[in-house]
A = this chain, B = another copy of it.
Amino acid sequence: MTRPSVRVRRAVAGDEREILRMIVALATFERAGEAVEATEESLAALMFGDDPNVFADIAEVDGRAVGLAVWFLNFSTWTGRHGVYLEDLFVDPDARRQGVAQALFGALAQEAARRGCARIDCAVLDWNRSAMDFYESLGARRSEGWQPWRLDGAALAALAAG
C-alpha cells in the first residue's frame, strides 16, 4: 500500500466549519467536548479578519481536511523573541498513522524558522501518552518544573472590578 500524500495549507475564510469540527473532536477526546464555546463566527473573526494573530493550518489527504494545527505567537523574556505556541493539534482517527501530524508539525517548524522563533511550545494532558510519544519522537521535551496557573470566572471579574 502506498502512503497517501499529505498537503498542509494555511486555513482561509470558509474553513471555519472544518476547523470547529476538529476543535470539538479534539476537546471530546480530551474529555471536555462540552467546554467548547468557540463558534464558526468567533473563529472566522479572529483568524480571517484584518491583521489576524491566531492561525490555523489544515492538513488534507485526497483534498479532504483530516488534520488541524491552531497556533499563535507567544513571547519569552528570556529569549527576547517570539515563539510559536501550538494550541491545538488534531488528526482525524481514520487518517492517523499516515504522517499527518508530522506534516503539520513540520510546516509549523518551518514557519517558526521563517519568523526567527526560538521555540515551539504546547501543553499535553498528563494521561495523553500518545501525544507525549509523538512530541518526544520529534525531539521535544517536557518543560520540567513549570506549572500552568489560571485566573478566570468570578475571581477574574472581581479583580477587574477592583
From known contacts A75-B72, A123-B149, infer whether A42 and B81 are also in contact, taking CB-CB under 8 Å: yes
Contact B106 A159 (CB under 8 A): yes
B residues within 8 A CB of A150?
119-122, 140-143
Q: Oligomeric state, in number of copies?
A: 2
Q: In the complex, A76→B42 CA distance in Å? A: 11
The chain B residue with its CB closest to the CB of A42 is B80
Q: Which residues of A contact B (CB under 8 A)?
A: 23, 26-27, 32, 35-39, 42-43, 46, 51, 53-54, 70, 72-82, 85, 87-88, 105-106, 109-110, 112-113, 118-127, 132, 135, 138-143, 145-152, 154-160, 162
Q: DSSP class of A's interface residues: helix, strand, loop or mixed?
A: mixed
Option from B70, B75, B159 in Cβ contact (under 8 Å) with A138: B159
B residues within 8 A CB of A35?
78
Q: What are 21 contact pairs spanning A and B, CB under 8 A?
A: A35-B78, A37-B79, A39-B80, A42-B81, A46-B75, A54-B75, A70-B77, A72-B74, A74-B74, A75-B87, A106-B162, A109-B159, A113-B157, A113-B160, A122-B148, A122-B149, A124-B146, A125-B145, A125-B146, A142-B148, A143-B149
